[in-house]
């Protein structure tokens, strides 16, 4: 790409940014992002909700407030009933409303495989902008949703569990990251990113590289959806988890029991759809942050710490 040198493009040097940040005044900036994908669940309304929550998440990860949304939909209009497209769009719409944003348009394309997502524009006070690049040694790492959405989706596709058994994972993916985001702006944190396709390990690695530090994770403290361990043991593992782990293996040091190692690492490498926020914040702010989350009915789990060390190195104990 040619040099991106517009001084109003505030995070032009940030390689792993969740969204682009563009200054529009002395104090405010736009936070812009786009995300769309193929169905992750069978129910079209749930797919719409999940795709919208996922697209909104990159704005939340940077501490922004979603303002406007544009739909992007690809649909096989000649072989699937229109009601399915309507249900997808209605799911997305309901999430946009819940986020307090406004749907201002969209674009559709005829395609053999359905795809749906949104482009979101948010607003952020520049002094409240959160990036992945300023975590500090000693910071606590908090994760706001359990892991395992890729493994559970694979298990549903493989008929190992029913969509009903996976309902709590569907609701988890459809949940907005609004509360954890507002809480982090209120409390003040060092850094944040959201956990999506590159998994907890991959997105933590990006945050660590950007911040030039290392991390230690406590495996037993990491929240994991019900049935994930059983499904991993049965080999219900998405291809993306293997690719993520292959990419990350050189940067990981496992200090748990050897028997647990491979199942644990593949779970930590599971690609997430609409995963939680991973927040780095100082020890003094931890209690307040968890309290604000609780107040808002959201969850937060202390899963590890930022430490000094070779940038990007992750130790799992
Ligand atoms: Co992101
Ligand atoms: Co994204």
- pLDDT digits over 287-312, tens only? 999 999 999 999 999 999 999 999 99
Distances (CA, A) of 163 to 166, 232, 254: 5, 17, 33
- For position 268, what pLDDT does the model report? 98
Q: What pLDDT score does 317 carry?
A: 97
Residues with CB under 5 A from ligand 1 (ion): 18, 58, 194
Residue 45, pLDDT score: 98
Cα-to-centroid distance, 257 and ligand 1 (Å): 31
- Residue 220 neighbours by CB distance under 10 Å: 10
Dist. CA 173–CA 192, nearest whole Å:
18
Q: Which ligand is nearest to the CA of 32?
A: 2
Mean pLDDT of the region 132-155: 98
Instruction: Find all residues with CB under 8 Å of 130, minimum gap 6, and list them.
Output: 61, 62, 63, 184, 185, 189, 191, 192
* Ordered alpha helix ranges (H), the chain: 44-61, 82-98, 149-157, 167-174, 178-187, 199-211, 228-233, 239-248, 261-268, 283-295
Q: What would the pLDDT profile of 120-141 be if each residue is shown by its tens digit?
A: 999 999 999 999 999 999 999 9
Compute the distance between CA of residue 283 and CA of residue 286 in angstroms, rounded to an integer.
5
Q: In what order do the strands lie in the sheet with 140-143?
A: 191-194, 277-281, 140-143, 301-307, 214-217, 314-316, 252-254
Q: How confident is the model at residue 4 (pLDDT cuts 50, 70, 90)?
A: confident
Among the listed residues 93, 121, 129, 109, the one whose alpha carbon sits nearest the alpha carbon of residue 32: 121
3-5-6-11 Cα dihedral, nearest 10 degrees: 90
Closest ligand by atom to 130 CA: 1
Question: Residue 170: what pLDDT?
Answer: 98
- The stretches of 115-255 forming alpha helices (DSSP H) are 149-157, 167-174, 178-187, 199-211, 228-233, 239-248
Residue 304 φ/ψ region, left for φ over 0, alpha for ψ in the -120 to 50 degree band, beta for the rest: left
Contact between 259 and 182 (Cβ < 8 Å): no
Q: What ligand is nearest to the CA atom of residue 203? A: 1
- Say how many Å lie between the CA of residue 252 and the centre of ligand 1: 21
Q: Which ligand lies nearest to the CA atom of residue 207 in the structure?
A: 1
| Distance between Cα 128 and ligand 2 center (Å) | 20
Give the whole-angstrom CA distance, residue 152 versus residue 149: 5
Asked if pLDDT for residue 174 goes beyond 80, the answer is: yes
As a whole number, the mean pLDDT across the chain is 97
Residue with tokens 């104090």, as numbered in its chain: 27
Residue whose C-alpha is closest to residue 106's, from 55, 68, 72: 72
Q: How far is the CA of 226 from the centre of ligand 2 (A)?
A: 25
Write down the pLDDT at residue 15: 85
Over residues 219-273, the pLDDT tens digits come to 999 999 999 999 999 999 999 999 999 999 999 999 999 999 999 999 999 999 9
Among 71, 76, 1, which residue's Cα sits nearest to residue 35?
A: 71
By C-alpha distance, which of 58, 52, 38, 54 is closest to 92?
52
* Cα 18 to averaged position of ligand 2 atoms, centre (Å): 6
The pLDDT value recorded for residue 313 is 98
Domains within the chain, CATH numbers bracketed: 20-128 (3.30.1330.10), 140-316 (3.90.650.10)
């Amino acid at each position: 790409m040619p040099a991106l040198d517009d001084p109003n493009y505030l995070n032009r040097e940030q390689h792993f940014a969740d969204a682009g940040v563009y200054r529009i005044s002395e104090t405010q900036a736009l936070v812009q992002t786009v995300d769309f994908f193929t169905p992750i669940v069978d129910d079209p309304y749930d797919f719409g909700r999940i795709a919208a929550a996922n697209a909104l998440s990159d704005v939340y990860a940077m501490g922004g407030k979603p303002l406007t949304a544009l739909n992007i939909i690809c649909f096989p209009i000649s072989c699937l009933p229109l009601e399915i497209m309507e249900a997808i769009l209605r799911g997305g719409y309901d999430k946009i409303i819940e986020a307090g944003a406004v749907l201002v348009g969209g674009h559709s394309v005829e395609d053999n495989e359905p795809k749906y997502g949104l482009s979101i524009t948010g607003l952020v006070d520049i002094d409240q902008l959160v990036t992945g690049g300023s975590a500090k040694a000693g910071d606590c790492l908090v994760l706001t949703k359990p892991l395992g959405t890729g493994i559970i989706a694979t298990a549903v596709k493989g008929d190992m569990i029913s969509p009903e058994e996976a309902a709590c994972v569907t609701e988890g993916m459809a949940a907005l990251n609004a509360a954890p985001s507002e809480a982090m702006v209120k409390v003040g944190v060092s850094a944040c990113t959201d956990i999506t396709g590159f998994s907890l390990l991959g997105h933590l690695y990006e945050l660590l590289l950007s911040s030039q530090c290392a991390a230690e994770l406590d495996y037993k403290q990491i929240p994991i959806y019900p049935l994930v361990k059983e499904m991993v043991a049965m080999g219900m593992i998405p291809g993306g988890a293997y690719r993520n782990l292959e990419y990350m293996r050189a940067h990981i040091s496992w200090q748990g029991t050897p028997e647990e190692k491979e199942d644990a690492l593949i779970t930590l490498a599971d690609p997430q759809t609409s995963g939680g926020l991973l927040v780095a914040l100082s020890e003094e702010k931890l209690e307040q942050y968890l309290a604000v989350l609780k107040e808002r009915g959201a969850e937060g789990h202390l899963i590890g710490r930022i430490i000094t060390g070779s940038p990007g190195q992750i130790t799992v104990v």
